[in-house]
């Protein structure tokens, strides 16, 4: 660290309002990181902060999670969102709270543009991480969110000096980082220093430190640095994205969708996150004719890209499941997030007696075995058995009026408190594993038919995971 940078850091350290993470959010972050911690403890911490509790519930009920049934309990919201998502949203909220208290911000520093860029980088970093099979996509999201935190610190702690840097860079044609470095406070180093003080892991600190290095140097770095570098590069794109896409492809060997799709999905997530954090991010900058084309295709394409992105996350979780119960919980979460299917019973064959035995996943995430819910494989009248034997989905709502359902199927419908049941067979390499039975009303059944391709993909992968566990 050079002398001039150290002088600026010393000035920050000696100030009376050194940025500090709020105590309640520090507790929440550590609780999320504790693998032995339980949902009840997390809920207790969140409920002690009314603002955070309201934000968590708002996000859990947002359109991004395709929710129709409203969640009113914090523990239910935690199950839907997951620990990592809650931790990263808590940190993002903390960063906003810390710097929102600052009275002075450099003239010329566009806060709306700053937050939009940060959120876009976060969304893109998570996408890139998932596509590149980086096993900590939530870490990538967080690093993308805070990669420019040094700029925010400089703009709030040295408003007059930073205004001179902003004005000077614009007039001289220098990049902002070049002008900052010549002045003595590159935002990359300032940001890395602050995250070190906040005890962030070294990989996240390095992602902040190196996000403006030459691409040739970045290519040989560990994945998180490359992910944040590419996300930052893509998020600054307002016109043609060919150059940024070439950088992305040069840093990762895997195949990516084109940047139009990636930016569409990122924009959807940015709006949700901005609403959650209470951030004003202004309008998206997109002056090109290409941007007009994006607006025309946004609704359908955003939904499709979002759904398959969410599906990728579910499939990744399935691969990591250690046992049958974890697989069932992951499938249930995937059904809830992707299709808003919450009334589900799994009927799996018992290899010892050949009976179909029920399992349900409770709201608390426990797998239970309801007593008496057993179906013989010789019961040919049951729609559930027929769907398994025929190898395709069957719905009790599509039969003729004269066709009476089996009493057993009617009882399951009553149990699930719905108009009908929808049975999806779980079969792998000719071996019958069981069926996933969902309670549906008529509008829900029509919606599922429209998502048939995505639903079949999830059921297929669920069958593969269960089959692999059975034959392990």
CATH code for position 228: 1.10.3210.10
- Measured between alpha carbons, how far is 267 from 29 in angstroms, rounded to an integer? 26
Q: Which of 101, 121, 144 is the last residue of a domain?
A: 101
Name the residue among 161, 141, 140 with its Cα closest to residue 151. Answer: 161
What local confidence, expressed as pLDDT, does residue 287 receive?
40
Q: Check if the beta carbon of residue 129 is closer than 8 Å to that of residue 227.
A: yes
Whether 309 and 357 map to the same domain: the answer is no
Q: Is the pTM of this model over 0.85?
A: no
pLDDT of 437 reads 95
Residues 162 and 283 in one domain: yes
157 or 314: which carries more pLDDT confidence?
Answer: 157
Q: Which helix (H) or strand (E) holds 62?
A: none
Q: Are residues 196 and 307 in the same domain?
A: yes
The secondary element (H helix, E strand) that includes residue 141 is helix 137-146
Q: Supply the pLDDT for residue 215.
A: 84
Residue 129 has pLDDT above 60, yes or no: yes
What number is the average pLDDT over the span 49-54?
A: 73
In a domain, 297, yes or no: yes
**9 inside domain:** no
State the average pLDDT over residues 272-294.
Answer: 56
Q: Is residue 46 part of a domain?
A: yes
Query: Are residues 380 and 352 both part of a single domain?
Result: yes
User: Is residue 306 assigned to a domain?
Assistant: yes
Tell me what pLDDT residue 289 has: 34
The number of domains in the chain is 3
Work out the angle at residue 354's Cα, subtended by the Cα atoms of residues 353 and 359, and round it to the nearest 5 degrees: 95
Collapsing DSSP states into helix, strand and coil, what is residue 217?
helix
Rounded Cα–Cα distance for residues 176 and 37 (Å):
43
pLDDT tier, 83 (very low <50, low <70, confident <90, very high otherwise): confident
pLDDT confidence of residue 211: 93
pLDDT, averaged across the chain: 78
Same domain, 94 and 107: no
**Which ranges constitute the DSSP H helices of 278-417?**
289-319, 324-339, 383-390, 407-416
User: What is the pLDDT at residue 310?
Assistant: 55
Mean pLDDT, range 43-47, rounded to an integer? 80
**Mean pLDDT calculated for residue range 400-418:** 83
Q: Are residues 285 and 427 in the same domain?
A: no
- Please check the confidence at residue 436 and state whether its pLDDT lies above 50: yes
Q: What is the CATH number of the domain that holds 340?
A: 3.30.450.40
User: Is there a single domain that holds both residue 372 and residue 419?
Assistant: yes
- Asked whether residue 254 carries a pLDDT value surpassing 50, the answer given is yes
Given this model, what pLDDT does residue 177 score? 83
Is there a domain that residue 13 lies in? no
The distance between the two most distant Cα atoms of the chain, rounded to a whole number of Å, is: 87
Strands 374-375 and 356-361: antiparallel
pLDDT tens digits for range 27-42: 776 677 666 667 777 7
Q: Do residues 208 and 146 touch, judged by C-beta distance below 8 A? A: yes
Under 8 Å CB-to-CB from 234, ≥6 apart: which residues?
124, 241, 244, 245, 248, 259, 262, 263
Degrees, nearest 5: CA angle 456-457-463: 85
Per-residue pLDDT band for 231 (boundaries 50, 70, 90) equals very high
Among candidate residues 265, 293, 316, the one where a domain is terminated: 316
Is residue 7 situated within a structural domain? no
Is residue 296 located within the same domain as residue 378?
A: no
**pLDDT at 23 (0 to 100):** 63
In this predicted model, what pLDDT tens digit does every residue of 445-459 receive, in sequence order?
Answer: 888 877 787 788 888
Residues 171 and 239 in one domain: yes
CA distances from 39 to 1, 90, 293, 369 (A): 42, 15, 44, 22
The C-alpha atoms of residue 208 and residue 195 are separated, in whole angstroms, by 9
Same domain, 263 and 398: no
Q: Where is the domain boundary, 294, 316, 338?
A: 316
Q: Report how far residue 131's alpha carbon sits from residue 346's, in angstroms, rounded to the nearest whole number.
A: 30
**Domain membership flag for residue 3:** no
The pLDDT score that the predictor gives to residue 113 is 86
Residues in the chain: 472
Tell me the residue range of the domain where 22 lies. 18-101
Q: Is residue 12 part of a domain?
A: no
> Given a cut of 70, is residue 93 above it in pLDDT?
no
Where is average pLDDT lowest: 182-186, 235-239, 303-307? 303-307
| 79 and 130 inside one domain | no
The set of residues, in sequence order, having a beta carbon less than 8 Å from that of 265 and lying 6+ positions away, is 123, 127, 302, 305, 306, 309
Same domain, 185 and 111: yes
Tell me if residue 424 falls in helix, strand or coil: strand
Residue 171 pLDDT more than 90? no
């Amino acid at each position: 660290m050079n002398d001039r940078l150290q002088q600026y850091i010393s000035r920050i350290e000696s100030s009376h309002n050194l940025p500090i993470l709020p105590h309640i959010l520090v507790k929440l972050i550590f609780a999320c990181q504790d693998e032995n911690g339980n949902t009840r403890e997390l809920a207790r911490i969140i409920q002690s902060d009314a603002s955070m509790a309201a934000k968590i519930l708002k996000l859990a009920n947002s359109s991004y999670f395709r929710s129709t049934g409203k969640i009113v309990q914090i523990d239910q919201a935690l199950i839907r969102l997951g620990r990592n998502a809650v931790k990263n949203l808590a940190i993002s909220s903390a960063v906003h709270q810390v710097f929102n208290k600052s009275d002075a911000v450099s003239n010329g520093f566009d806060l709306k543009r700053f937050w939009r860029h940060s959120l876009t980088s976060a969304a893109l970093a998570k996408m890139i991480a998932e596509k590149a099979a980086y096993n900590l996509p939530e870490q990538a999201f967080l690093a993308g969110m805070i990669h420019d935190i040094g700029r925010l610190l400089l703009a709030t702690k040295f408003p007059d000096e930073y205004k001179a840097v902003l004005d000077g860079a614009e007039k001289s044609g220098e990049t902002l980082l070049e002008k900052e470095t010549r002045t003595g406070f590159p935002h990359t180093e300032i940001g890395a220093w602050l995250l070190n003080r906040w005890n962030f892991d070294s990989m996240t600190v390095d992602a902040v430190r190196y996000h403006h290095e030459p691409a040739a140097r970045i290519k040989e770095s560990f994945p998180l640095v490359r992910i944040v570098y590419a996300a930052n590069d893509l998020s600054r794109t307002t016109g043609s994205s060919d150059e940024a896409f070439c950088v992305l492809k040069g840093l990762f060997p895997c195949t990516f969708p084109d940047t139009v799709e990636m930016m569409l999905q990122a924009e959807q997530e940015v709006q949700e996150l901005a609403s959650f954090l209470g951030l004003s991010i202004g309008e998206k900058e997109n002056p090109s004719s290409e941007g007009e084309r994006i607006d025309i295709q946004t609704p359908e394409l955003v939904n499709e890209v979002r759904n398959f992105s969410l599906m990728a996350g579910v499939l990744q979780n399935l691969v990591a499941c250690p046992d049958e119960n974890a697989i069932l919980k992951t499938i249930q979460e995937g059904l809830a997030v992707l299709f808003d299917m919450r009334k589900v019973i799994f009927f799996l064959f018992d290899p010892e007696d050949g009976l179909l035995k029920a399992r349900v996943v409770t709201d608390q995430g426990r797998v239970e075995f309801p007593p008496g819910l057993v179906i013989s494989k010789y019961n040919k009248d049951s729609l559930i058995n027929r769907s398994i034997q025929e190898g395709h989905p069957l719905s009790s709502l599509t039969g003729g009026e004269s066709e009476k359902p089996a009493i057993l199927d009617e009882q399951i419908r009553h149990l699930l408190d719905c108009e009908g049941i929808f049975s999806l067979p779980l079969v792998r390499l000719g071996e019958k594993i069981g069926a996933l039975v969902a309670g549906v009303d008529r509008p829900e059944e029509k919606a599922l038919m429209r998502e048939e391709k995505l639903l079949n993909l999830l059921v297929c992968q669920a069958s593969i995971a269960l089959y692999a566990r059975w034959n392990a």
